[in-house]
Amino acid sequence: MKDNIQKVLLLGSGALKIGEAGEFDYSGSQALKALKEEGIETILINPNIATVQTSEGVADKIYFLPVTPFFVEKVIQKEKPQGIMLAFGGQTALNCGVELYRSGILEKYNLEVLGTPVQAIMDTEDRELFVEKLDEINVHTIKSYACENIETARKAAKKLGYPVIIRAAYALGGLGSGFCDNEEELNKIAEKAFSFSPQVLVEKSLKGWKEIEYEVVRDNYDNCITVCNMENFDPLGIHTGESVVIAPSQTLTNAEYHKLRALSIKIVRHIGIVGECNVQYAFDPYSEDYRVIEVNARLSRSSALASKATGYPLAFVAAKLGLGYGLFELKNSVTKTTSAFFEPALDYVVCKIPRWDLGKFHGVDRELGSSMKSVGEVMAIGRTFEEAIQKGIRMVGLGLHGFVGNKELKIADIEGSLSAPTDKRILVIEKAFFDGMSVDRIHELTKIDKWFLYKLEHIFKINKDLKACRTINNLDNELLKTAKIYGFTDFQIARALGMEADVDMEKAVLVVRERRKQAGIVPYVKQIDTLAAEYPAQTNYLYLSYSAVAHDVQFENDHRSVVVLGSGAYRIGSSVEFDWCGVQALNTIRRNGYRSVMINYNPETVSTDYDMCDRLYFDELTFERVMDILDLENPYGVVVSTGGQIPQNLAMRMDQQNIPILGTQAKYIDNAEDREKFSAMLGRIGVDQPEWSALTTLEDIRKFIDKVGFPVLVRPSYVLSGAAMNVCSNDEELERFLKLAANVSKKHPVVVSKFLLHAKEVEMDAVAKDGEIFAYAISEHVEFAGVHSGDATIQFPPQKLYVETVRRIKRISRQIAHELHISGPFNIQFLAKENDIKVIECNLRASRSFPFVSKVLKINLIELATRVMLGLPVEKLNKNLFDLDYVGVKASQFSFNRLQNADPVLGVDMVSTGEVGCIGEDSRTALLKSMLSVGLRIPKNSVLLSTGNGLQKADMLTASQLLAQRGYTIYATKGTNQYLTENGIKNTRVYWPTEEGTPQVIDLLREKKIDMVVNIPHDLSSREITNGYRVRRTAIDLNIPLLTNARLASSFIHAFATVDIDDLDIKSWDEY
């Protein structure tokens, strides 16, 4: 080990975004753990306040600051570390590191890069250097031309012959890339790519080839291993982040596997990686021909997946190697006896499936391609491929029961849908089998390897056999067992047997369950031990399978297990914050002498790191699987309040099976979840709420609106994707919206509620014990109500609430806590207008703001809540909100740049993919740090204002004046121009695309003459292709900062116009 290193700076990856998500919390946490073990002082820069790595005790000093050269240099100046680690914070950290190196900052502060040297990073990041480098050792790459302008791009494409793929250099997971079949498409895509990067690559497309990846580790002594290889279910052409991925590869022969493995090692040695890296190949399905697609000289999404798939802690080992260790000096962390220099042997197969939330976005392109759109992923483990993929399909959490047994999907053109895949692709394959299409034909259309299709066909056939039984009495044990081995749930079996017709499905499922338990058909618990049982391992990393005859572990039956249900796939609305909550619960359980047990299946999380708990079940969170595990664990209790909505939804059914639920009891959870019951309760205790009604006909809706008036919030009660909620301001909008949602609202009533304009939204996060509040945090939205609380900018402590408002909120919260006998965490959302307070929502679980308020308050609310749930003594919190002499601001990260054609506008439905939380001495500094952390830039010269309706224009007046005073050139569209001019603010009129005249807005944007766009949509509902949409979308596509909310835009402008960025306080968390 290097002995000159006592203090190390580690760069995090910032907010979760498409292409860069929770995997880097996991990687960074592991690296910090590895450093800590060596007694090294660790400094972490990461504004993502909801992560585990930014929790107390993980790093010695934590800076909630943007991961940009400017801020990183300030921290270096202050902390004077000897080493810096760039490989654990995704592309954000890597790019920042390269910039620090290029600008000489690393040299200036004599900072050693630990791990892969920056030159090697640049050799892999710059395509031209990369190709040259691999040419030196005769390794084939994809023939590619680096172009600095569109003309050379056209020439290159002509030379290569269409189809070609365009990529932007130095970009996150395929950002700004795409396939072009002709010059017209090239023009479009290349322009976008150039907006992200000065260099664009034109390459021959190898659509249809297999995509294979290897995770390689190399130490300072040139020892190399490949920890895992992975095969994409989808052929090349679909981004690996968008593809189902299988590990280990299933269709490669020994010769192919080892040829690519040996090549990976050769490449990694030649480039000079120290630590971990990922090599991606395109592999010809008809020969052993290959191309290296890319090398990622850092921990990646794939490496996180490989770690979970094998049990080999890649990030932990990579950090140690960065300190100069040899692989042979480290131990296998699973067996603890064998060496870390080995390659895991798996005796199971894992299947990763992406989770998309495209339904949340208006206008988005649903076709899968070379850039990533998924927001999360799941990993399923099985001992048959069928078991793994069926588990995985369920885990994704979109209401699917597996490959078969789902509600019928209506697809007009199956062949077309197969050849132009969307997020529904796996379902389309099932539909194709249903229509009698052959494996050969499906293969022709999809280029998915036939082996995968045969396996899917096998599932389809078993389902057919089950259906042929017609009743459970005809089902023999052999078929029942076969179905279970190949991943069928009791639900799928019950459905195939047609039991739905006679009994409620919840009952049918229990009938099947009882029947198979009687026949001794139960799943067994298997270990992931890295060596396929060759050596004994005390590993607690577990999964369940029916392809088994014995358990690998013994159950104590001592009633000391506490099972925490995890939060599943990251999705819009539920992500790393619940991982943090889960981990805090596990820590508390463990510290208090209970056995901590986690059930979760998200490979991007820290809660699925096997050393975070005493037993990890990497398995489904379905009722069936949770009950399987609880049958074996016979726990002291189950925690359902730290994993978001999935565990909450299981509470009632578990309660009916007499499972001890810790904390707030299931019936009260139901009382809060059920709108009618909750509303009745509020009425009973005299708490106000926006008027609402559940209605079934348009006529009733009209009557209701006549009473309360527009605008109204309309939500069909049966919502699959979440897209069906909307605000309607007039009759026309209402009718249009209901038409769109009609097919979901026929059976289920539509809930219409009065929508309050210009109301403040306030959140109460609290912990109660036996109905009495023990700790709370009240925070305030910057935006007015109408922006989903997950998208809103939140300040804590509140800065602009009346004392009376706070008092009322506290009183109401106490009443609700008492009424619902809350024991544990809960969250209430309020609307406040003047001092009029209404309750909009109440969740008897931790909310997404728990890590934020916990960290700003410096009180771990989940620890407190877990102690309450365990029945341990707790003390009431004495800290007063007004004691804090600093402010925390939580801002949202949007990933619109990834989502082609999606309208980048905020509304009642959540669309952000991540968040940051920064602390400052006042709200302006905290806001500025947060906004810069989510990728906004302070404009240099010019701002475009297009500020919506009259009220919104007025909201923006002071900010506009400030801009003018600070010498910004203001461009304004028609109405705004008039308004500003009337108010004596100098501005230049610009023209909408539909208007005659120059300058045209879009031209100015393209010419990079506008540094920031403020575009406030006129009303909340209209989604058609409007001028506004075109401007917003162009800004996103050209990577120009965009603000669409008047309140937030004003606050941001106010902050950067009155605070000098050089004066921002650079303080670590503990210094506040």
Partner 1 sequence: MRSITLVLSDGTKFHGKSFGYEKPVAGEVVFNTAMMGYPESLTDPSYAGQLMTLTFPLVGNYGIPPFTVEEKGIATFMESDRIHASAIIVSDYSEKYSHWNAKENLADWLKREEVPGICGVDTRQLTKVLREHGVMMGKIIFDDEPANIPEAEYEGINYVAKVSCKEVIHYNRGAGKKVVLVDCGVKNNILRCLLDRGVELIRVPWNYDFNNMDFDGLFLANGPGDPDTCVETVKNIQKFLANPKVRPCMGICMGNQLLSKAAGASIYKLKYGHRSHNQPVRMVGSNQCFITSQNHGYAVDSTTLPSDWESLFVNMNDGSNEGVKHKKNPWFSAQFHPEACSGPLDTEFLFDKFVELL
Read off the tokens for 541. Answer: 């990393």
- Burial of residue 433 (CB within 10 Å: 0-12, 13-18, 19+) is buried
Nearest CB to partner 1, comparing residues 107 and 222:
222
Q: Report, in Å, the least distance between residue 534 CB and partner 1.
A: 5
Q: Binders of partner 1 among 394-453, rule CB under 8 A? A: 449-451
Token pair 């995090």: residue: 12
385 binds partner 1 (CB under 8 A): yes
Read off the tokens for 262. Answer: 């040996």
1039 binds partner 1 (CB under 8 A): no
DSSP 520: T
Q: Which stretch binds partner 1 (CB under 8 A): 155-163, 244-252, 680-688, 1030-1038?
A: 244-252
Q: Which stretch binds partner 1 (CB under 8 A): 147-155, 347-355, 949-957, 1003-1011?
A: 347-355
465 binds partner 1 (CB under 8 A): no
The residue type found at 73 is E
Q: Nearest 5 degrees, angle CA 285-CA 282-CA 444?
A: 40
Nearest CB to partner 1, comparing residues 530 and 893:
530
1 binds partner 1 (CB under 8 A): no
Give me the residues paired with residue 773 across strands: 768
Q: Report, in Å, the least distance between residue 261 CB and partner 1.
A: 6
Give me the residues paired with residue 144 across strands: 203
Nearest CB to partner 1, comparing residues 536 and 709:
536
Q: Report, in Å, the least distance between residue 212 CB and partner 1.
A: 13
For partner 1, the binding residue among 73, 185, 343, 691 (CB under 8 A) is: 343
Q: Is the peptide bond before 163 cis (omega within 30 degrees of 0)?
A: yes
- φ/ψ bin of 765: left (φ > 0), alpha (ψ from -120 to 50), beta (otherwise): beta
The residue type found at 229 is N
Element at 398 (helix H, strand E):
none
For partner 1, the binding residue among 535, 556, 834, 1019 (CB under 8 A) is: 535
Nearest CB to partner 1, comparing residues 454 and 555:
454
For partner 1, the binding residue among 328, 336, 519, 950 (CB under 8 A) is: 328
Spell 836-859 as b/e; 16+ CB within 10 A means b.
ebbbbebbbbbbbbbbbbbbbbee
Q: Report, in Å, the least distance between residue 257 CB and partner 1.
A: 5
Q: Report, in Å, the least distance between residue 129 CB and partner 1.
A: 28
For partner 1, the binding residue among 1, 137, 503, 532 (CB under 8 A) is: 532
| CA–CA gap between residue 578 and residue 387 (Å, rounded) | 27
85 close to 322: Cβ distance less than 8 angstroms = yes
Measured in residues, the chain has a length of 1072
555 binds partner 1 (CB under 8 A): no
Count the neighbouring beta carbons within 10 Å of the beta carbon of residue 67.
24
Nearest CB to partner 1, comparing residues 265 and 756:
265
| CA–CA gap between residue 74 and residue 79 (Å, rounded) | 9
Nearest CB to partner 1, comparing residues 210 and 845:
210
379 close to 309: Cβ distance less than 8 angstroms = yes
257 binds partner 1 (CB under 8 A): yes
The residue type found at 769 is K
519 binds partner 1 (CB under 8 A): no
For partner 1, the binding residue among 37, 132, 151, 222 (CB under 8 A) is: 222
Question: Quick one: three-class SS letters along 866-890?
Answer: HHHHCCCCCCCCCCCHHHCCCEEEE
Element at 973 (helix H, strand E):
none
Nearest CB to partner 1, comparing residues 526 and 625:
526
548 binds partner 1 (CB under 8 A): yes
| CA–CA gap between residue 202 and residue 140 (Å, rounded) | 16
Number of amino acids touching partner 1 (CB under 8 A): 56
Read off the tokens for 357. Answer: 């939330």
- Phi, psi for residue 167 in degrees, rounded to 5: -130, 150
333 binds partner 1 (CB under 8 A): no
Sheet of strand 969-972: strand arrangement:
988-989, 969-972, 942-946, 1012-1015, 1042-1043
Q: Where are the beta strands (DSSP E) in 990-1046?
A: 1012-1015, 1042-1043
Q: Report, in Å, the least distance between residue 547 CB and partner 1.
A: 6
685 binds partner 1 (CB under 8 A): no
Q: Report, in Å, the least distance between residue 337 CB and partner 1.
A: 8
Nearest CB to partner 1, comparing residues 524 and 896:
524
Nearest CB to partner 1, comparing residues 307 and 805:
307
106 binds partner 1 (CB under 8 A): no
Count the neighbouring beta carbons within 10 Å of the beta carbon of residue 684.
9
Nearest CB to partner 1, comparing residues 450 and 814:
450
501 binds partner 1 (CB under 8 A): no
Site string for partner 1, 259-288 (x = CB under 8 A): --xx--x-------------------xxx-
Q: CB within 8 A of 773, min separation 6: which ones?
A: 766, 767, 813, 814, 817
- Phi, psi for residue 433 in degrees, rounded to 5: -60, -40
258 binds partner 1 (CB under 8 A): yes
Element at 93 (helix H, strand E):
helix 90-102
For partner 1, the binding residue among 32, 65, 252, 627 (CB under 8 A) is: 252
554 binds partner 1 (CB under 8 A): no
342 binds partner 1 (CB under 8 A): yes
| CA–CA gap between residue 1015 and residue 995 (Å, rounded) | 17
For partner 1, the binding residue among 56, 129, 154, 251 (CB under 8 A) is: 251
638 close to 531: Cβ distance less than 8 angstroms = no
Q: Which stretch binds partner 1 (CB under 8 A): 251-259, 604-612, 626-634, 837-845?
A: 251-259
Element at 82 (helix H, strand E):
none
Q: Report, in Å, the least distance between residue 496 CB and partner 1.
A: 21
Q: Which stretch binds partner 1 (CB under 8 A): 37-45, 179-187, 409-417, 532-540?
A: 532-540
Q: Report, in Å, the least distance between residue 878 CB and partner 1.
A: 54
225 binds partner 1 (CB under 8 A): yes
464 binds partner 1 (CB under 8 A): no
Considering only CA atoms, which of 436, 426, 361 is closest in space to residue 396?
Answer: 426
Beta-strand relationship, 772-784 and 836-843: unpaired
Give me the residues paired with residue 833 across strands: 836
526 binds partner 1 (CB under 8 A): yes
Q: How far, rounded to the nearest angstrom, does the alpha carbon of residue 101 sit from its chain's CA centroid?
A: 30
What is the DSSP code string of 213-250? EEEEEE-TT--EEEEEEEEESSPTTS-GGGS-EEES-S
For partner 1, the binding residue among 132, 151, 289, 534 (CB under 8 A) is: 534
953 binds partner 1 (CB under 8 A): no
Q: Report, in Å, the least distance between residue 384 CB and partner 1.
A: 5
For partner 1, the binding residue among 6, 103, 149, 253 (CB under 8 A) is: 253
For partner 1, the binding residue among 550, 593, 658, 1060 (CB under 8 A) is: 550
Nearest CB to partner 1, comparing residues 275 and 786:
275
Q: Nearest 5 degrees, angle CA 698-CA 703-CA 706?
A: 125
Nearest CB to partner 1, comparing residues 347 and 804:
347
Nearest CB to partner 1, comparing residues 179 and 257:
257
Q: Report, in Å, the least distance between residue 477 CB and partner 1.
A: 13
Q: Which stretch binds partner 1 (CB under 8 A): 323-331, 368-376, 723-731, 738-746?
A: 323-331
| CA–CA gap between residue 98 and residue 631 (Å, rounded) | 52
Q: For binding to partner 1 (CB under 8 A), which residues are involved?
A: 221-223, 225, 248-255, 257-258, 261-262, 265, 285-287, 326-328, 337-339, 341-349, 383-385, 449-451, 454-455, 524, 526, 531-536, 547-550, 552
